[in-house]
Amino acid sequence: MGKRRKKFHSSNWQQKRAKYEGYGGKLEIGTCGILITHDRGKENFCRNDAFRLFNYFADEWYGPEHKDEKNDVPSKDGGLKTEDGDNENEEVEDDEDDCDDVHAALLKEVDVIKDMSSVNNKETRRFNSVKSGCNNIVFIKTHGLKPSEFVQNVIETIEEDKKTLAVARNVLRVHPADTSCKAHLADIKQQAEIYLPEAFEKFLTKNSTDNQANVPKQFNIVYRGRNNEHLHMHDVIDAISSAAQDACPMWRYNCRFEGLHLLVDVIKNVCTMGLAENYTKHKKFNVRELFFPKDPSPAVSEKLCQTEKTQTLIETDK
């Protein structure tokens, strides 16, 4: 008998694992972000459109993600240049006795290098795509913002004004994921008891009036399960409604109420939750339907044509 052939271990196993699990990671318990649906085979197009759409509104509302420091720019020889273009190394050479200036210049250079390296750090990015583990689903992890508030503002802005340059044709439904837990009834109920009081309080504060008694304290639940055969819709709804009664006695579940929806999405072993106002009124947060309605009015269709022309001109200039 001949010798048994040794197994070949590839040297790029880290790249293969990253490709399998996603370069930005995978959807895990405790992840917050935005869940997006798309057409079959359009994952990359959907991800690109989502990044362009979210970055457009985030930069407009919160400012640019990484601010360029014009005062302190690293020069080719390793020194720092000021706005006038003079290299600070020349000043240091002229005045070698001033050690404080040298130390300050080095500290500034270290800060600039740290800021430049943080641009490529995935953990500090405002939006980072992670692998959802399900077909036709893109999950974008958020950092430094509340997913439900951001998505609500995006949907309302698109509904009011369709002149935005970030037209997203391949983005379908957008669901915020403010919190996530393990996809078991006990964990879902426990997480709902923690999440719902704070979420309902923010909803009342946002829609506060002179008489808050007129605000209906009701909510509806939208459940969608994917790649999970252990949970059923009615069991999850009963668990969340009972948790709401225990944590918020004034609130009750109403399956016909359309003012406030709790979006519950289950993907494999992860359950995400997020609040949405006027969910059915805003086309169930379907971005394509908001941008391209089935029966658009002449004014809306003219706006969309002008927006697409402007976007194509910008892309060609780049």
pLDDT in tens, the chain (318 residues): 566 776 666 566 666 666 666 656 788 999 999 999 999 999 999 999 999 999 999 999 998 876 554 444 444 344 444 444 455 455 545 555 566 677 777 777 777 666 655 555 566 788 999 988 899 999 999 998 999 999 999 999 998 876 655 678 899 999 999 999 999 999 999 999 999 999 999 998 888 764 555 778 999 999 999 999 899 999 999 999 999 999 999 999 999 999 999 999 999 999 999 999 999 999 999 999 988 877 655 555 565 556 555 555 444 454
Alpha carbon of residue 283 to chain centroid = 20
Q: Mark 98-137 as b/e (b = at least 16 C-beta within 10 Å).
A: eeeebeebeebbeeeeeeeeeeeeeeebbbbbbbbbbebb
In the chain the domains, ranked by start, together with CATH numbers, are: 15-65+125-208+216-290 (3.30.2130.30), 73-122 (no CATH)
Q: Are 42 and 151 in contact (CB under 8 A)?
A: no
Question: If DSSP codes are grouped into helix, strand and coil, which group holds residue 163?
Answer: coil
Continuous segment of H or E residues that includes residue 205: helix 185-206
Alpha carbon of residue 120 to chain centroid = 17
Of 274, 192, 230, 269, give the one whose Cα is nearest residue 26: 269
CA distance 277 to 156: 10
Task: Specify burial of residue 56 (Cβ count, 10 A radius: 0-12, 13-18, 19+).
Answer: middle
